[in-house]
Chain A
């Protein structure tokens, strides 16, 4: 059944259907509507969860860590400064192999303070061992929560997952979203039953320290589990498609890419704008296509190389900047196509909520055709 609903409310509703037992969150713009909706559900008996109103994001994720280790399905949501405050806990949750799921309403990081959208916050946590999904629209943002729990809790994975969707652009936008029924979600997502948990009947120690004889192997094992999660994403996506008719089995998704000479690579809501711009350019005879990255961690390097083979140039739209280097997506895409000879051009854009429109996409394609890239797009030179 389709509902016209705000992105945050659709996500909150999907989270409710996933039946988290412990929710811990701290309010931060633009994540607030999610956690307010969940609190309302708990207060009115629509969600049977213990909702911990923590004093900081640092404690939000720490509480999820404890609850998850005790065998409960857990949920949190945050963004920007809140995610930065969780930095230390993020690495810990992954290292301890706890499948916490967290929504990120993507937002810029200060300074200067900005409440508006880019993807710097979650990109900065790309090394932390979490799965990272990026949603293009609110339907995808909603559905990826079911997928995220299913994959994170898979006994071969047992890693936390971030579902990233652009703050305000998606979180505060009303769109038609098809919600699943509780029965449907229960069929797709079984209850959380971790192989190990804190339990007085079977005492084990969690979070011990590792000497140099063991640390490297712990990191290898976690990295392997994250890379191997790829096949679990595929399987869960196929099953979801068979049950509900929406396909999230691919890590990346091409749009009019088959004969494209210029390929745009992007993540998140910008992909919708890019698709419209491509339709216009295609109508004018320009061979342009899009490669959307849905799963950034594990990084689908082989899928990207395969999808981009045969293109003449790649233009990466980065809503982040690894200061002193380049956009993170471009750096990794360049690594993925290394040896192919295809030039990868990087465009840093849309930071701190700067609008990106169809005309900007067209202009970027024109720049790419001229071989001009690796730049901040749309700089207002008059204020520099």
Chain B
């Protein structure tokens, strides 16, 4: 059993107050334990955790490039096997590195079946470079490269379904989790690192700076994503969904209205059609995963 009181991602790093990604790393390492080698991609976390000569990582850690973390991890995994070593290999990479630029290396590494766990901290845009849209940016979110304007409601496409893509590669264990539910998150990471083969865990990690909310609201907003059905926490074993977090669903606008990136849907004028389109995405999630808890009406 991993000692959950041990901090392997140390304090003193340079993340913003209320950073969801920093919390994701801290919880993920509690789940993985200290017999772990971490591979990071270039991005916010890499920058705020390792300004030479300081490091926040109390486990062996390596960063090479933006797009090659899973190829580096392939080499590490092969090397450990050859040397008869027992460390777990854990990638921690952002959504840009995962959904977009790292896709080639990820596909290759999952197809080859190396033993590693890929954790994507998903804050739904390129935050390190100044909040540009990625393949993980949700529908209608305003970013610096998908700005809302007189001719645009922001990002034109819904999120890419990475968990499904990696399940289709034959990943034995795929899960999504949220920093709003730490026990579930740690449990899923622990299960992933103890499953042989390439596993994928996608962590919802709100970014106060990029999404536009106060740093003390990170957990509340992460929770609202789950409660509105815009983020679903689930597990897939051998490609089949085995566990889903069920909720009594709230309307999506309770989530959208908390963040500056969706402000254009409410001001200067409420955009009913757009909000309805996002509600439809949540409804589709609810149907696909069966997340709704139905409360019987009182007679």
Contacts and interface: CB of A to CB of B under 8 A. Distances in A.
Interface in A159-182: none
Interface of A: 21-22, 24, 49-50, 52-56, 58-60, 62-72, 74, 88-89, 92, 96, 198-200, 202-211, 214
Contacts of A64: 75
B73 interface: yes
Nearest to A100: B75
A93 to B, nearest CB: 8
A21 B108 contact: no
Given A64-B75, A211-B51, A70 B64 contact: no
Interface stretch (B54-62, B130-138, B148-156, B206-214): B54-62
Contacts of A56: 104-105, 108
B35 A67 contact: no
Contacts of A49: 82
Nearest to B58: A203
Given A66-B39, A207-B64, A198 B76 contact: yes
B284 interface: no
A67 B61 contact: no
Given A59-B104, A62-B105, A209-B46, A200 B37 contact: yes
Contacts of A55: 104-105, 107-108, 111
B56 to A, nearest CB: 9
A21 B84 CA distance: 12
Contacts of A204: 60-61
B65 A211 contact: no
B243 interface: no
A205 B61 contact: yes
B145 interface: no
B81 interface: yes
Nearest to B109: A59
B112 A50 contact: no
Given A55-B108, A208-B52, A203 B61 contact: yes
Contacts of B58: 203
A21 B35 CA distance: 22
B63 interface: yes
Contacts of B68: 58-59, 62, 65, 89
A54 B83 CA distance: 20
B182 to A, nearest CB: 23
B184 interface: no
Contacts of B55: 205, 208
27 contacts: A50-B82, A54-B108, A58-B105, A59-B71, A59-B104, A62-B71, A62-B74, A66-B64, A67-B75, A67-B76, A68-B79, A69-B76, A70-B37, A72-B78, A72-B79, A89-B68, A198-B37, A198-B60, A203-B58, A205-B55, A206-B60, A208-B52, A208-B63, A209-B46, A209-B47, A209-B50, A211-B52
B47 A67 contact: no
Best-buried of A54, A58, A60, A62 by chain B (most CB within 10 Å)? A62
A88 B42 CA distance: 13
Given A52-B112, A205-B61, A209-B46, 7 more contacts: A58-B105, A60-B71, A65-B64, A72-B79, A199-B60, A203-B59, A205-B57
Contacts of B60: 198-200, 202-206
A1 B72 CA distance: 39
Given A55-B111, A92-B65, A209 B75 contact: no
B285 interface: no
A72 B52 contact: no
Best-buried of A53, A203, A211 by chain B (most CB within 10 Å)? A203
Nearest to A218: B52
Contacts of B73: 66
B74 A63 contact: yes
Contacts of A211: 51-52
B259 interface: no
B291 to A, nearest CB: 35
Interface of B: 34-37, 39, 46-47, 50-53, 55, 57-65, 67-68, 71-83, 87, 104-105, 107-109, 111-112
A24 B77 CA distance: 13
Contacts of A21: 79, 82-83
Contacts of B52: 208-211, 214
B67 to A, nearest CB: 8
Contacts of B34: 200
A70 B51 CA distance: 22
A88 to B, nearest CB: 6
Nearest to B8: A203
A351 B52 CA distance: 44
B63 A206 contact: yes
Contact of B78 (A52, A60, A92, A203): A52
B65 A74 contact: no
Contact of B72 (A63, A199, A202, A205): A63
Contact of A63 (B53, B75, B104): B75
Contacts of B35: 200
A215 to B, nearest CB: 9
B87 to A, nearest CB: 5
Contacts of B46: 209
A67 B85 CA distance: 13
A68 B72 CA distance: 10
Given A59-B74, A59-B105, A72 B83 contact: yes
B76 A66 contact: yes
B83 to A, nearest CB: 7
Given A203-B59, A207-B64, A208-B51, A66 B79 contact: yes
Contacts of A65: 64, 68, 72, 75
Best-buried of B39, B57, B79, B104 by chain A (most CB within 10 Å)? B79
Nearest to B37: A198
A68 B87 CA distance: 16
A58 B83 contact: no
Nearest to A210: B52
A163 B78 CA distance: 24
Nearest to B108: A55
8 A-B pairs with the lowest CB-CB distances in the bound complex, closest first: A66-B75, A55-B108, A63-B75, A62-B71, A67-B75, A66-B72, A59-B71, A62-B68
B86 to A, nearest CB: 8
